[in-house]
Amino acid sequence: MAYNMKEIVAQKPSRFTSGHRMCAGCGAPPVARMILRALKPEDHAVIANATGCMEVSSFIYPYTAWTDSYIHTAFECAAATLSGAEAAYKSMKKQGKLPNDEHTKFIAFGGDGGTYDIGIQSLSGAMERGHDMTYVCYDNGAYMNTGIQRSSATPKFADTTTSPAGSVIPGKMQSRKDLTEIMEAHHLPYVAQTIAYMNFKDLYEKAEKAIYTEGPTFLNVLSPCPRGWGYPTEDLMTINKLAVETCYWPLYEIENGKYKITYKPAKKLPIEEFLKPQKRFRHMFKPGNEWMIEEFQKEVDRRWEDLLRLEEMSNKE
């Protein structure tokens, strides 16, 4: 069935409600909401959430913004926690302890801190064990909940509170980890990288595939943080667009090892377009720092070209 955003929004009620306390203009709630809309209305979901912005703002006792079952335990173990719930489901279903006609899907949400860094072991373990679950990383490129500390998802040169742009060291000196590729190295049936762009079509379709592909699946979703990135809240969708159109955040999926780039910009925009509106990169635009932008561009190009090659190679007969 062709994607029809208006129909989806009109017919599938939000499973992540109003009344949560994420910051105004946060990129994560629209992402979580659209991913949950990819669930069949008749299906129940168990959601596990790593400690982070999303968790501390969506379930502040005694109010929960989740209409499905939800569990938060700690920072690094959303995947392991959910793997336990999924194992319980399998076991109880097998023993006839749960209704036969009900289906439960398992979805984890973690920020980049809880996924790229402290939670990577738990995630890797759960994925390797083959639990039937979807892990969603909403990647905002730093530890935003604790006040914008660098993570391994933070892009090079970004000014964070633990990689400040100083007079000697100009921000974070390392490039970001490519978690999507690390997840692909687990040879999962479905891995995708996406964002809220173009009417959320890419996000919705990938979420639907991930949730309804049997086995462990992974979604990496770039999710801008106006506070941590330093742009006006209203620019959320512009930032998303620039992340994609500059190829900073390529949209692609890998189904059983086959790469498919789901959007190729007709004309790749220079990386400055993405960097310039964000205060965390402001120092890169000072006279004498042109090399930083050049280097950043080179890295983006290299990764994009690698991706093009992977797509070509993996689709060769």
Do strands 190-195 and 251-255 pair parallel, antiparallel, or not at all (unpaired)? antiparallel
How far is 75 from 52, CA to CA, in rounded Å?
Answer: 7
Please answer whether residues 82 and 48 qualify as being in contact, where contact means their C-beta atoms are separated by less than 8 angstroms. yes
Q: Assess 112 for contact with another protein (CB under 8 A).
A: no
How far is 67 from 18, CA to CA, in rounded Å?
Answer: 11
DSSP state of 286: S
Candidates 58-66, 175-183, 185-193, 282-290: pick the segment binding another protein (CB under 8 A). 58-66
Q: Binding string to another protein for residues 260 to 279, with x set by CB under 8 A, is what?
A: --------------------
Helix (H, G, I), strand (E, B) or coil at 55: helix
Candidates 126-134, 176-184, 268-276, 301-309: pick the segment binding another protein (CB under 8 A). 126-134
Q: Assess 294 for contact with another protein (CB under 8 A).
A: no
Candidates 82-90, 172-180, 186-194, 309-317: pick the segment binding another protein (CB under 8 A). 82-90
Residues 6+ apart with CB under 8 A from 269: 242, 245, 246
Alpha-carbon dihedral sign for residues 272, 274, 276, 280:
negative
Nearer to another protein, 49 or 220 (CB): 49
Binds another protein by CB under 8 A, chosen from 1, 2, 41, 62: 62
Binds another protein by CB under 8 A, chosen from 90, 268, 298, 302: 90
Nearer to another protein, 171 or 226 (CB): 226
Residues 6+ apart with CB under 8 A from 277: 231, 235, 238, 239, 242
Tokens representing residue 160 in the block: 């964070």
Which whole-number Å values give the CA distances from 302 to 35, 95, 244, 249, in the listed order? 30, 52, 15, 13
The kind and range of the H/E element at 216 are none
* Beta carbon of residue 290, minimum distance to another protein (angstroms, whole number): 30
- Which 18-47 residues touch another protein, going by CB under 8 A? 18-30, 33-34, 44, 46
Candidates 69-77, 173-181, 286-294, 306-314: pick the segment binding another protein (CB under 8 A). 69-77
Q: Assess 48 for contact with another protein (CB under 8 A).
A: yes
- Which 211-250 residues touch another protein, going by CB under 8 A? 226, 232-238
- Which 178-217 residues touch another protein, going by CB under 8 A? 196, 199-200
How far is 116 from 221, CA to CA, in rounded Å?
Answer: 12
Binds another protein by CB under 8 A, chosen from 36, 38, 39, 76: 76
How far is 198 from 237, CA to CA, in rounded Å?
Answer: 9
Nearer to another protein, 101 or 317 (CB): 101
How far is 112 from 137, CA to CA, in rounded Å?
Answer: 6
Candidates 5-13, 172-180, 255-263, 305-313: pick the segment binding another protein (CB under 8 A). 5-13
Candidates 64-72, 205-213, 257-265, 272-280: pick the segment binding another protein (CB under 8 A). 64-72
Binds another protein by CB under 8 A, chosen from 40, 91, 164, 302: 91
Binds another protein by CB under 8 A, chosen from 7, 294, 306, 312: 7
